[in-house]
Amino acid sequence: MSKTYYDPADLRKFGNITEWSEELGNKFFEYYGKVFEEGALTAREKSLIALAVAHTEQCPYCIDAYSKDTLQRGVTKEEMMEAIHVGAAIKSGATLVHGVQMMNKVNKLDG
């Protein structure tokens, strides 16, 4: 197999990051665990948000992890794809809204 930067099996080693900085690593995992607990939002809703963010962040590990996690929670393909579109819309919106800044700048310089 050709070497790539990402190896899916590395996801299983995520917990090992505590080995080189135990206190900070543990604090992160504690926080992470708390964030995903059932709260004002259901764990299912949180999982869908995570899936959308995994795509906007373009993290292959997170995409694998939350594709599986949402499936486990009974989320359908249609719901998953809609969530990604929400992420994509925000991402493209965020790009485009900076167009206003560009327009301001251009108008100031070249109005």
Partner 1 sequence: MAVKSLKKQGSDLAQSNKQLEILSNGIFQTGELPTFKNKISESNQFPLKAKKLEILQINVGYMCNQVCDHCHVDAGPDRKEIMTRDTMRQCLEVIKNSGAHTLDLTGGAPEMNPDFRWFVEEAAKVGIKDFIVRSNLTIIRANKKYYDLPEFFKKHNVHVVSSMPHWTRGKTDKQRGDGVFDKSIKALQELNAVGYGMPNSDFRLDLVYNPSGAFLPGDQAAMEKDFKKALLEDFNIQFHNLFAITNLPIARFLDYLIASENYEDYMYSLVEAYNPAAVKNVMCTNTLSISWDGYLFDCDFNQMLELPVNSKVKHISEYNEELLEGRDIVISQHCYGCTAGAGSSCQGNTIPADA
CB of 69 vs partner 1, minimal distance in Å: 8
CB of 67 vs partner 1, minimal distance in Å: 9
Which residue, 65 or 84, is less far from partner 1 as judged by CB? 65
CB of 58 vs partner 1, minimal distance in Å: 22
Alpha carbon separation from 66 to 18, 36, 42, 59, 76 (Å, rounded):
22, 12, 15, 11, 13
Chain contacts with partner 1 (rule: CB under 8 A): 12, 38, 42-44, 68, 71-74, 76-77
Which residue, 68 or 85, is less far from partner 1 as judged by CB? 68
Which residue, 16 or 42, is less far from partner 1 as judged by CB? 42
Which residue, 68 or 105, is less far from partner 1 as judged by CB? 68
Q: Cα 62–64–70 angle (5° rounding)?
A: 90
Residues 6/60, Cβ–Cβ less than 8 Å: yes
User: 49: closest CA among 75, 74, 84?
Assistant: 84
CB of 44 vs partner 1, minimal distance in Å: 6
Reduced to 3 states (helix: H, G, I; strand: E, B; else coil), residue 61 is: helix
